Amino acid sequence: MRVTMIGTGYVGLVSGACFADFGHEVVCVDKDASKIETLNEGGIPIYEPGLDLLVERNVREGRLSFTLDLEEAVRTADAVFIAVGTPSRRGDGYADLSYVHAAAKEVAEVMDGYTVVVNKSTVPVGTGDDVERIIAETRPDAEFAVVSNPEFLREGAAIEDFKRPDRVVVGTDDERARAVMRELYRPLYLNETPILFTARRTSELIKYAANAFLAMKITFINEIADLCEKVGANVQEVARGVGLDNRIGGKFLHAGPGYGGSCFPKDTLALTRTAQDAGTPLRLIETTVQVNDSRKKAMADKVIEACGGDVSGKQVAVLGVTFKPNTDDMRDAPSLEIIPALQAAGAKIRAFDPAGTVEAEKLLDNVDFVSGPYICADGADVLVIITEWNEFRALDLKRLKETMKAPILVDLRNIYNPDEAKAAGLTYTSVGRP
């Protein structure tokens, strides 16, 4: 099938490359000329493990291409995916749908023949209705269907998630559109992946509900971690004991500095706004948002406390600044709250991240980014682990102790054993463990 993907960010580029790998003919469109130029020259504008090889193979085999020409790409397409950003709208927390609406209008102006227009962007309930109205008003003669097909991709594991998903959700009541979507996902159907067809509004809500539930799960275990610290319990053992209940499961029960990234912060906020407008406020989600925001700020206090209550003039070494490992995404990363708070307390910051430096330098001022973990720790008064990159899981703790000015390690991801850290001569602080 002929597929057009509007947007070459995390969702659009990964989805386009994977559809091409399924055997479809895919054209990815973007308005950013520099991004399209990079892609056409063989570069990848985002960091996602394995994506460079996937893109290179499908470009070489003629199934994947990149262009600025929306008209030509849409005119020949069987399905047009809208995969543009829906950031939180400044000031009120609603999802900013301006990019989605603009894409819908542009698609309507150039579409030719029956076309399935697919909302791949994460959008509030009712956005499909808006897209349908925009297309119908722009082109009253158009023959089309608007479908909701939310993404459930984890940055850092997006290719695996697309090719081996837990489920595919498709929201449409149009039989012709269903047939197109079945054909697009036929390789997954043959692998017996559950493909759930629902009404469009139901599909839109599934995405938000899933993200909100996972965000609540993270926030729940973070609050349990705080209680563990007060009563002398171990949050990792609590999480394991709880997660072995197959009604609950162990995923997302990992205490840390709070969730961030491109989805959870904006989606939980947008969902609460939708619910408030509908007259059915979601108190659990509202509280989740508030607790998570407070938690990021509290992590700076944990570092200051580990340093005896004062970091003024001290050198703080930070390992990991992205919101999670295996990505360069800095959106709503805990480091964006923790580092400025430490700087406000008088600390000097040195940092290392395996992939996030370029993006981080755009967002963090007066941070000395270096090229490795031991360089980062050299002469530091405290070392803080914010992101659990694999590169940080087997550091030589004795070497760290010898190179640091003060042997203080604050592990906000609980990746080290407290006894091993103590045996190496480090004063060790973690989250939710005695």
Which positions are annotated as active-site residues? 263
Give the whole-angstrom CA distance, residue 66 versus residue 374.
41
- The radius of gyration computed from the CA coordinates of the chain, to the nearest angstrom, equals 23
User: Which whole-number Å values give the CA distances from 198 to 100, 148, 206, 271, 405, in the listed order?
Assistant: 21, 9, 10, 19, 59
Give the whole-angstrom CA distance, residue 61 versus residue 23.
10
DSSP labels for 110-127? H--SSEEEEE-S---TTH
Of 296, 374, 288, the C-alpha closest to 335 is 296
Give the whole-angstrom CA distance, residue 218 versus residue 229.
17
Give the whole-angstrom CA distance, residue 146 versus residue 81.
10
Give the whole-angstrom CA distance, residue 417 versus residue 262.
30
In the sheet that 367-369 helps form, which strands lie side by side, from edge to edge? 367-369, 348-352, 315-319, 382-385, 408-411, 427-429
3-state class (DSSP) for residue 257 = coil
Please enumerate in sequence order all residues whose Cβ is within 8 A of that of 94, keeping only pairs 6 or more positions apart, or say none.
88, 124, 270, 273
* CA atoms lying within 13 Å on the CB side of residue 52: 10
Q: Is the dihedral of CA 307, 377, 406, 350 positive or negative?
A: negative
Asked whether 342 and 380 are in contact (CB, 8 A), the reply is: no
